[in-house]
Structure 1
Amino acid sequence: MTAHADFGLIGLGTMGAMLSLNMADNGFRVAVHNRTTSRIATFMDEAGELASRFVPCDTLEAFVAALKPPRNIILMVPAGAPVDDPIEALRPLLDSNDLIIDAGNANFHDTVRRANKAEQDGLPFLGIGVSGGAEGARFGPAIMGGGLKAAWDRVAPMLSAIAAQYEGQPCATWMGQDGAGHFVKTVHNGIEYADMQLIAETYGIMRDGLDLSSSACAEIFTAWNEGALQSYLIEISGKVANSVDPATGQPMLDVILDSAGQKGTGRWTAIEAQMLGAPVTVIEAAVAARNLSAGKSLRQEGERLFTPAERSLPTDTTLNTDDLRDALIAGKILCYAQGFDLLEKASDDRSWNLPMPDIAKTWREGCIIRSSMLNDMATALEAKPANLIFAPYFADLVSRTLPALRKVVVTAAGAAIPVPAMAAALTYFDTITQSRGTANMIQGQRDFFGAHGFQRTDQEGTDFHGPWLNQHLK
């Protein structure tokens, strides 16, 4: 077989197929392979007029032979062993300067391991996060790269060509060494979980508290998408709320079971945040909410047993949709502030030197959490504020919208309408803006039962003890 393909791609599931078509659309010739070879023929049939830009390969040997050296191979397969297996099978067939790129939803710890192994063997390897779903993969995703800078530079022209564009700038950025790209993608997904949960809670108040129909909610979301909340998630929320089930004629939202699925990346975000001591309480609340949503039968039994108060706002309530809009703005900013704080802590811990403004810029188009707010976040992060909400622009915006968030959380709690992510955002704000908290009691307790010591407010040092210690020893 003549080696004439510019890139190779293994894994023709939805994301791999769409990314392959994107590459072909941008003038690249692509060799394709899939473990289940029948999928290759199906893909070629579906490729239509782009089929001539693909080289279908039933075996790895034919696949490698079809690629121009030095070879560049993209893996679009599920995380875990499905990534390790083709790497192990490919390496004996490749030259020392052939590059393997894992573009799946990998756990960044696996990417670190694979990158270290490749570096020890003197072989190039990249782990890149690709966000935007099937539509993004097909027409331009956000791409977050990790690995050796030289390897990134080698394929950056192609990745920039297939990435989403924001005002002519590609949303494709090298984030740092080894697993940096996949870590940034993980945090992106954690923020995605939280953003979606905040929107769902807002919908819940409109539906249960204000007794608004799905079509009325759709109108509100659509109007909000013209203002500060302009984003992909608000846009599609309006479309979802406005859709009608063809089978029953009912609003789609009324026939969708309230049990949310998840692939696990939000959970990974929460786990890594705990390991790094980074408070991502809004993301954690969103993950917990999805877990609770899965327990439908448990929630049904709970409702039967406790017969909670009617979930509607009092008739004399002053809560309105403007309050909900502002509360959502405040919650969104606080969620992103937590996400960027986690990225900073991971960057320090791993010596990645993550480019915070560039991360925000990369997320402006192509990815699921793209929004107009990210442009302002990129500008704010240039000044390296201690926290995103301390940047002047966002400090002002949070100050103006925080009263609405407080009003919504208090009102929803009084009406037995759960708003875990909004409540977490509010509590986070109240905590980081209170100079004297209550952890002195915790330190006293720890010293009392474990002699762990504490710092004093009036003396230097870290190993003071209370009078109870001597009483224990007598």
Structure 2
Amino acid sequence: MEATAHIAVVGLGVMGRNLARNFARHGYDVAVHDRIPSRTHALIKEFGHEGTFVPAENPEQLVARLRSPRRLMIMEQERDATDAVTDRFTPLLAPGDIVVDGSRAHFADTRRREAASRERGVHFVGVGISGGADGVLHGPSITVGGSEKAYAVLGPMLETISARFDGKACCAHVGGDGAGHYVKMVHDGIARTDSQFLAEAYDMLRKTAGCSPGDIAAIFRTYASGRLNSDLLGITAEVLDHVDARTGSPFVDVVADTADRSGTGHRTVRTALDLASPATVLAQTVFAHSSSGHLRLRSAYRGLPGGDTGQLGPAEAERFCARVEHALYASRIIAYDQAWTMVQDAAAQYGWKIDLAAIAHAWRTDGIMRSALLDRMREAYTVNPYLNSLLADPFFAEEIAQAQVPWRETIASATRRGIPVPAMAAALASYDTLRAPRLPTALVQGQRDHFGAHAYHRIDLPGTYHTDWSNPERPEAHV
């Protein structure tokens, strides 16, 4: 058969199938292959009318049907499967061809695969795809990592199938090798934190203000009409409004209060630790979810004394609802600032040139991330691409200043009542840590020098020093 296909998609699970359909709907001829042949046949039988699909029974046939330079997109979801497909196809490709990994791969694996492919003259591109199965079909948010040469060939196709906002494709080339998957990992981490913030707000409103789940749904919709506007708030309100058909109880009351203790959140926290990037809000979110599933510990702690459990009167409850909005907003700013810092720290470590404004735009249409706040962040990084922090931008500095009293009062109220708000409290603690002119870390350094001779730096002299603690009057030794 003549080589006519513009791109190939290998792996026709839900995500791969919908991606292939998206390409076909936009006029591209798509070669398709899956290790389970029935998936290929089912795709063409059910959706063949949407465009041109070119089936292939084996790797050799698939590669032969691709135009040069060949573009081969892998949509396997397991690490070993991605390695197997890459190893099987790469020897069949020619220098200048492009292998694209659209899975949720760990960026370190993408860097490894890119280096190995580069030795053969083949481009390896890691693509972070956000928006879920529906978004992949109708227009995902896409962050691309790989060489600029590869993006020049592949990018126009990805921009064509991506979502659009303000007339511009929500697709960005964010750096070399694993940058696209790294940014996707951070995206998933911040989305998880956003969910935790809303869960903590719900808990406070219910236990402190005495609101029912339906009441809180209405409050969240009010929040969503203002600066906290986001799709996730709307989703959360819908969940809170839902009534369980079996029991007639609020849906949220019949769902087990334990979270999955695996996933990309753990991976993101480990990466932040490796980079010494202070992603404390995400870390507390992950640990909160881990704690929820630790039933043995929860059983041991249950019944132990806590704080005041009295509820507020109607007037004070209304004021409390307004304070919670401030706390949510300020906490989100800090969490996003930590996410951008993680991206900047990785860029410095791996030599990536990353445009944070472009990432904010790419995320703008993603279902769980879609929010007005991203517009402000994009504006901030457009005006000054080299911001060390969002809070160095006048708008965000003023927003945080305005939130100080209600933010602190909300956290204090939760603490007095024994209501856990680990993510919001971590956001406030991070803010106070970074704004402090001097931290008690000086004492920690002294302790470490005393018990382990780890040495320390002085503020008035260059170099590293150690004190002889058996005779502290003796002058410090320069080490």
Q: Same fold (TM over 0.5)?
A: yes
Q: Name the counterpart of 1:470.
A: 471
Residue pairs, 1:205-284, within 5 angstroms: 205-261=204-260, 264-284=263-283
Cα displacement string for residues 200-228 of structure 1 (whole angstroms, at most 9, x for unaligned residues) = 11111122222222221211222221211
TM-score computed with the length of structure 1 as normaliser: 0.94
Unaligned runs of 5+ in 1: none
Aligned equivalents of 2:129, 2:122: Cα separation in 1? 22
Deviates more, 1:66-75 or 1:127-136: 66-75
Report the TM-score when normalising by structure 2. 0.93
Determine if contact 1:144/1:182 at 8 Å carries over to the other structure. yes
Bigger shift: 463-472 or 201-210? 463-472
CA contact (8 A) 1:78 1:104 kept: yes
Q: Is the 2:93–2:122 Cα contact (8 Å) retained in structure 1? A: no
Which digits, 9 at most, give the CA deviation of each residue in 1:166-224, with x for residues without a partner? 10010111111111111111111111111111111111112222222222121122222
- 1: CA distance, partners of 2:38 / 2:473: 74
Aligned to 1:362: 362
Once structures 1 and 2 are overlaid, which stretch shifts more, 150-159 or 254-263?
A: 254-263
Q: Distance in 2 between matches of 1:406 and 1:151?
A: 49
Does residue 456 (structure 1) correspond to residue 458 (structure 2)? The answer is yes
Partner of 1:19: 19
Task: Label 1:408 to 1:137 Cα distance change in 2 as closer, same or farther (>3 A).
Answer: same
Alignment check: 8 A CA contact 1:405 1:422 kept: no
Quick check: 1:164 aligned with 2:166? no
**148-157 or 54-63, larger mean C-alpha shift:** 54-63
Aligned position for 2:447? 445
Residue 404 in 1 paired to residue 403 in 2? no
After TM superposition, the structure 1 = structure 2 runs for residues 2-401 of structure 1, keeping only pairs within 5 Å, are 2-47=2-47, 49-50=49-50, 52-261=51-260, 264-296=263-295, 298-304=297-303, 306=304, 308=306, 311=309, 313=311, 315=313, 320-366=320-366, 368-382=368-382, 383=384, 384-401=386-403
Partner amino acid, structure 2, of 1:462: G
- Structure-1 separation of matches of 2:18 and 2:203: 34
**1:277 deviation in Å?**
1.3
Deviations 1:234-268 (A, max 9, x none): 12111222223333333322222222236522112
Instruction: For structure 2, list consecutive stretches of 5 or more residues without a partner in the other structure.
Output: 475-479
Offset of residue 143 of structure 1: 0.7
Q: Secondary structure at the match of 2:457?
A: coil
Q: Deviation of residue 155 (structure 1)?
A: 1.1
SS at match of 2:302: helix
Greater mean deviation of Cα atoms: 224-233 or 251-260: 251-260
Shift of 1:322: 1.0
Is the alpha carbon distance of 1:247 and 1:58 closer, same or farther for their aligned partners in structure 2, counting shifts above 3 Å? farther
Aligned residues of 2:232 and 2:367 also touching (Cα < 8 A): no
Task: Specify whether residues 45 and 208 from structure 1 end up closer, same or farther in structure 2 by C-alpha distance, changes over 3 A only.
Answer: farther
What RMSD, in angstroms, separates the aligned Cα atoms of the two structures?
A: 2.2
Structure 2 distance, partners of 1:162, 1:293, is 39
Residues 209 and 81 of structure 1: CA distance in aligned 2, closer, same or farther (over 3 Å):
same
**Sequence identity, in percent?**
35
SS state at 2:125 partner: strand
Instruction: Write the distance in 1 (CA, Å) between the matches of 2:452 and 2:350.
Output: 32
C-alpha displacement of 1:394: 0.1
Give the aligned residue type for 1:26: H
Q: In the aligned structure 2, how far is the partner of 1:57 from the partner of 1:307?
A: 65
Q: 1:472 to 1:60 in 2, by over 3 A?
A: farther
1:194 and 1:282 in contact (8 A); partners too: yes
Paired residues, number: 471
Cα pair 2:259 2:289 within 8 Å, conserved: yes
Counterpart-to-counterpart distance in 2, 1:335 and 1:28: 39
Code of the residue aligned with 2:292 in structure 1: it is S
The alpha carbon displacement at 1:450 in A equals: 2.2
The amino acid across from 2:25 in the alignment is D
Counterpart secondary structure, 2:464: coil
Q: In structure 2, how many angstroms separate the alpha carbons of the residues matched to 1:45 and 1:289?
A: 46
* SS of corresponding position for 1:2: coil
Q: Classify the secondary structure of the residue corresponding to 1:47.
A: helix
